[in-house]
């Protein structure tokens, strides 16, 4: 089997890799219908996050169950299933509280940029569909595995409600789907912070009512202007830098909620500064498993179309171009289609 392997900064190769198989009785192996490149894949790709030797890449997936271990009960070969980027048992105390990405048995799912993938803890991790979906739904269903689930968590963790004023910091795929999620949750005003015309357009399509191009202190000042000096009820931070975190906190009203779902890189918060903001913070790796059943239902009923976030589709063997296009911000998100015979 051939799959994507990262060797070092900007050196991603599509080459022979071990074919995944059942290692534990709780595993499943799925044949991917589609996979994609994540914004978080760009951190190691750019060398901003060290890797220990050649690393199989990819953690977003959906597809047909090919094989299951002897202990797996809830999914069977032939079913179409979606899972989270962290495997979870879905039974431990953290899972029962809805924080499956903090599962006591959590395991990262790695190597999804390939035709086949081993998924640990299949019963807890995978959500099977009752019927095989039509091809046109695959991009939206794939997005639920991480990017859409993360956008939804950003909105949920920031307590977006009917009538809320919401700010979304970050115009990557997660930020854009944060806009869509806030819209779906009934937000009245959604201010997307973006200076990129194509992304501004998609933000508007997803439900943004205002666009703010300024960033940093100027961006936060512009939000204050737009909210009569009050700040927003809910701010979704979808980047993970010092500047974006501070911009998000400064844009939130006292008593408001700020969620952060971009993996922080070099972020440090000042305790005294935070103390006087009265802002409620909640974030982390999105527990997308919690949301999968409801989000699958919304996609199947045609209520949401998060697959629009994929503006580049490539055969899997061109995975390197997918990374390049996202790195250079020529593409918002690249969808990869495994080749039939690999």
Q: Does 95 bind Zn ion (CB under 5 A)?
A: yes
Quote the distance between the C-alpha of residue 176 and its chain's center. 11
Cα–Cα distances (Å) from 213 to 51, 125, 228, 331, in that order, read 34, 39, 18, 19
Nearer to Zn ion, 106 or 308 (CB): 106
Nearest to 146 by CA among 287, 263, 31: 287
Nearest to 19 by CA among 114, 146, 121: 114
The partner residues of 232 in beta bridges, in order of sequence, read 252
Q: Does 119 bind Zn ion (CB under 5 A)?
A: no
Q: How many CB atoms lie within 10 A of CB 50?
A: 9
Which segments within the chain are labelled E, that is strand? Answer: 2-8, 11-16, 28-36, 55-56, 61-68, 80-83, 86-87, 107-108, 116-119, 126-128, 165-169, 189-193, 210-212, 232-237, 252-260, 280-283, 312-315, 334-337
Stretch that binds Zn ion, among 53-61, 84-92, 115-123, 170-178 (CB under 5 A): 84-92
Per-residue contact track with Zn ion, 191 to 230, x per CB under 5 A? Answer: ----------------------------------------
Q: Does 92 bind Zn ion (CB under 5 A)?
A: yes
Stretch that binds Zn ion, among 35-43, 83-91, 112-120, 227-235 (CB under 5 A): 83-91
- Size of interface with Zn ion, in residues (CB under 5 A): 5
Nearer to Zn ion, 286 or 309 (CB): 286
Stretch that binds Zn ion, among 57-65, 103-111, 189-197, 322-330 (CB under 5 A): 103-111
Query: For residues 81 and 66, what is the distance between their CA atoms, to the nearest angstrom?
Result: 11
Min CB(92)–Zn ion separation in Å:
3
Nearer to Zn ion, 97 or 195 (CB): 97
Stretch that binds Zn ion, among 91-99, 204-212, 237-245, 268-276 (CB under 5 A): 91-99
* Beta carbons of 118 and 56 less than 8 angstroms apart: no
Nearest to 148 by CA among 123, 119, 182: 182
Query: For residues 9 and 185, what is the distance between their CA atoms, to the nearest angstrom?
Result: 39
Nearer to Zn ion, 199 or 289 (CB): 289
Biggest distance spanned by C-alpha atoms of the chain: 61
Min CB(91)–Zn ion separation in Å:
6
Q: Does 22 bind Zn ion (CB under 5 A)?
A: no
Min CB(93)–Zn ion separation in Å:
8
Q: Which secondary structure element, helix H or strand E, spans residue 248, and what is its range?
A: helix 242-251
Q: Does 127 bind Zn ion (CB under 5 A)?
A: no
Single out the residue of 89, 233, 250, 321 in contact with Zn ion (rule: CB under 5 A).
Answer: 89
Q: Does 142 bind Zn ion (CB under 5 A)?
A: no
Q: Does 103 bind Zn ion (CB under 5 A)?
A: yes
Q: Does 101 bind Zn ion (CB under 5 A)?
A: no
Nearer to Zn ion, 29 or 95 (CB): 95
Min CB(84)–Zn ion separation in Å:
11
Positions that interact with Zn ion (CB under 5 A) = 88-89, 92, 95, 103
């Amino acid at each position: 089997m051939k799959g994507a392997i990262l060797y070092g900064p900007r050196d991603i190769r599509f080459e022979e890799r071990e074919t995944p198989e059942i290692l534990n009785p709780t595993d499943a192996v799925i044949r991917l219908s589609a996979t994609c490149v994540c914004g978080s894949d760009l951190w190691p790709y750019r060398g901003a996050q060290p890797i220990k030797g050649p690393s199989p890449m990819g953690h977003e997936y959906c597809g047909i169950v090919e094989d299951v271990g002897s202990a797996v009960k809830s999914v069977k070969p032939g079913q179409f299933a979606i899972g989270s980027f962290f495997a979870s048992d879905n039974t431990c105390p953290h899972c029962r509280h809805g924080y499956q990405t903090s599962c006591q048995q959590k395991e990262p799912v790695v190597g999804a940029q390939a035709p086949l993938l081993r998924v640990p803890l299949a019963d807890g991790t995978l959500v099977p569909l009752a019927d095989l979906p039509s091809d046109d739904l695959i991009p939206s269903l794939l997005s639920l595995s991480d990017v859409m689930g993360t956008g939804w968590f950003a909105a949920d963790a920031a307590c977006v409600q009917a009538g809320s004023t919401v700010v979304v910091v970050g115009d990557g795929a997660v930020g854009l789907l944060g806009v869509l999620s806030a819209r779906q949750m009934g937000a009245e005003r959604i201010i997307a912070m973006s200076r990129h015309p194509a992304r501004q357009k998609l933000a508007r399509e997803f439900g943004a009512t205002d666009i703010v191009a300024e960033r940093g202190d100027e961006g936060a000042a512009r939000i204050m202007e737009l909210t009569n000096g009050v700040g927003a009820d809910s701010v979704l931070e979808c980047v993970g830098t010092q500047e974006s975190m501070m911009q998000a906190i400064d844009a939130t009203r006292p008593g408001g909620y700020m969620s952060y779902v971009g993996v922080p890189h070099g972020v440090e918060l000042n305790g005294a500064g935070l103390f006087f903001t009265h802002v409620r913070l909640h974030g982390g790796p999105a527990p997308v498993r919690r949301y999968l059943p409801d989000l699958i239902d919304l996609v199947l009923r045609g209520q949401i179309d998060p697959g629009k976030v994929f503006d580049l589709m490539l055969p899997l063997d061109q995975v390197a171009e997918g990374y390049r296009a996202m790195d250079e911000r020529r593409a918002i998100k690249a969808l990869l289609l495994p080749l039939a015979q690999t």
